[in-house]
Structure 1
């Protein structure tokens, strides 16, 4: 989702502005129904584009390194959720904050930024494409199942209605987009900049819809400023722990430097693009804004930290040549 031009991603300003707009002028009544319908359509477009951008050739090229991909998936869907359970159990942590952190840890990895940081640091780009793409595809199924298993007390659940939404809004558009890649792949490649705006605009619309419902439901009475500060701190600690584990874990597993970099960047990421629509499917409308708040916070922290680390690894590589 993220263009890597600096340590700070300007897209976060658009996200903050969207949250501000929803806080001041939330959609209500019939307007809320229109916005909700538009947000559902945006989710379909978003996952269609994800499928259309998925390159089979790159996946086939990188798929041979199964040990690396298994390590990335284990970090994403085992280590992260265990850390989420631990943090959610911190004494005195509000239930809303714990639920948001826990949901964050269940999400798949990012695609674009994981690949970009891997490339900057001199890692195995083909393997990064495979790991990040496979993580995103699995996330359509694994994230809702983990949420139902670990967050049933917070309103998450995989009912038949949720399954239908997952299939129709996430899986079918993704598969259709990928199936049409031989037809539209060239056009997608030539218009990546335009599609990036469509991609991001879809997320902004979904965020506005989610936060509008949350604000109407009393979001800012439930989440005071001190709790937001706590979420920043927990997100930073979470990212630091996972990055340390993945970096030294990659070396302990005997991975080459290029593959250790893939584990570091693909294993430590959480996808805002997947998290927002999945939350919309799994949670009641008024609860979605609270749940995705930590995802938005973690999104910016991971971009800043990974941009700095990728540049440091690139500098170290250039000195060694």
Structure 2
């Protein structure tokens, strides 16, 4: 493992910058009201863009591999939530908001970009990864609010009908509208994906800034100690390790190919910061989101670092297998 692989990505550094700015200069008064409206509009546009970028052809092609998708969905929306419930039951010496944040991250959908990117690096089934990651994000719009209402009710966190209405109007409706116009603007989205990616990340940074601004005003840095951070890191590393081991084991027991195993491991072990932070902003409106979204923000970086190493190992394994096959093909001729 090299130090370069452990270096935070630019987006994570930008998130850290947003937290720093919010810690020094949180938005208050009129500035907070205006910025909240701007961020809400940006999130709606963000999910419109997600809908417009999602290729229907890729979804239809990938849906035929139902066993692979079933295993990924089971990991994302069954294994992860069960582990979250188990962590909550341990009674760890962490603030209730952090415990709720850990549980919340286990209820989210998988990532899109990083799942596909790591599948490609690991020489996996990229077409299936595109479908699986996209489908996970779409299902998450429906399943995450339901899971939050069921699983987190006992944590003192519940969602209201107003929250569900906000989910529909701010997330689902823009996504559907994006899908409706996808045949006409999908090509434009792909050609300008880099520029649109900046908007994607910018909207998330806005939510993070507002969330931590509220948390700073509420005294987050007075309640969060280094011991708590160390304990949180240990829990999140353990959570990811269990999911990675389970998805790898399940892939091999079910007889999937190496390429499909890569896809299952990479798509089934991720949690989406891009969907999770905006959704938390709606589901938990009025609550202190600083501590609640902190586990998701840290888990985001952990999954990138760890999966980058695993993807490289899968790639090395694929190269070794290819070299062995080439050598075996040459021997008879010799």
* TM tier relative to shorter chain: over 0.9
Determine if contact 2:159/2:284 at 8 Å carries over to the other structure: no
Runs of 4 or more above 6 Å deviation: none
Partners of 1:227 and 1:239 in 2: CA distance: 18
Determine if contact 2:122/2:315 at 8 Å carries over to the other structure: yes
What is the Cα deviation at residue 38 of structure 1?
A: 1.4
Which residue does the alignment assign to 1:278? Answer: 279
3-state SS, counterpart of residue 107 of structure 1: coil
Q: TM-score, normalised by structure 1?
A: 0.95
| Structure 1: gaps (5+ residues) | none
Q: Does 1:67 find its partner at 2:60?
A: no
Partners of 1:155 and 1:44 in 2: CA distance: 28
Q: Determine which structure has more spread, i.e. the larger CA radius of gyration.
A: 2
Partners of 1:96 and 1:90 in 2: CA distance: 15
Determine if contact 2:43/2:278 at 8 Å carries over to the other structure: yes
3-state SS, counterpart of residue 108 of structure 1: coil
Cα deviations across residues 66-88 of structure 1 (Å, max 9, x unaligned)? 11111101110110011111111
Partners of 2:123 and 2:284 in 1: CA distance: 39
Cα deviations across residues 210-230 of structure 1 (Å, max 9, x unaligned)? 111222222223322321221
Cα root mean square deviation, aligned: 1.4
Q: How does 1:35-74 map to 2 (within 5 A)?
A: 35-74=35-74
Partners of 1:285 and 1:39 in 2: CA distance: 16
What is the Cα deviation at residue 294 of structure 1?
A: 0.4
What is the Cα deviation at residue 6 of structure 1?
A: 5.2
Aligned positions, number = 317
Partners of 2:223 and 2:154 in 1: CA distance: 17
3-state SS, counterpart of residue 156 of structure 1: coil
What is the Cα deviation at residue 155 of structure 1?
A: 4.7
Identify the range of structure 1 (85-94 vs 256-265) with the bigger mean alpha-carbon deviation.
Answer: 85-94
What is the Cα deviation at residue 179 of structure 1?
A: 1.2
Q: How does 1:197-212 map to 2 (within 5 A)?
A: 197-212=198-213
Which residue does the alignment assign to 1:29? Answer: 29
Q: Does 1:126 find its partner at 2:124?
A: no
Partners of 1:73 and 1:200 in 2: CA distance: 25
What is the Cα deviation at residue 313 of structure 1?
A: 0.7
What is the Cα deviation at residue 189 of structure 1?
A: 1.1
Partners of 1:126 and 1:309 in 2: CA distance: 20
Which residue does the alignment assign to 1:17? Answer: 17
Instruction: Decide whether aligned partners of structure 1 residues 230 and 19 sit closer, same or farther in structure 2, where only a CA change above 3 A counts.
Output: same
Determine if contact 1:65/1:127 at 8 Å carries over to the other structure: yes
Instruction: Decide whether aligned partners of structure 1 residues 123 and 22 sit closer, same or farther in structure 2, where only a CA change above 3 A counts.
Output: same
3-state SS, counterpart of residue 41 of structure 1: helix
Determine if contact 1:215/1:286 at 8 Å carries over to the other structure: no
Determine if contact 1:123/1:259 at 8 Å carries over to the other structure: yes
3-state SS, counterpart of residue 269 of structure 1: coil
Q: How does 1:173-192 map to 2 (within 5 A)?
A: 173-192=174-193
Determine if contact 1:144/1:157 at 8 Å carries over to the other structure: no
Partners of 2:162 and 2:156 in 1: CA distance: 14
Cα deviations across residues 253-300 of structure 1 (Å, max 9, x unaligned)? 111111111110000000000100111111134421211100000000
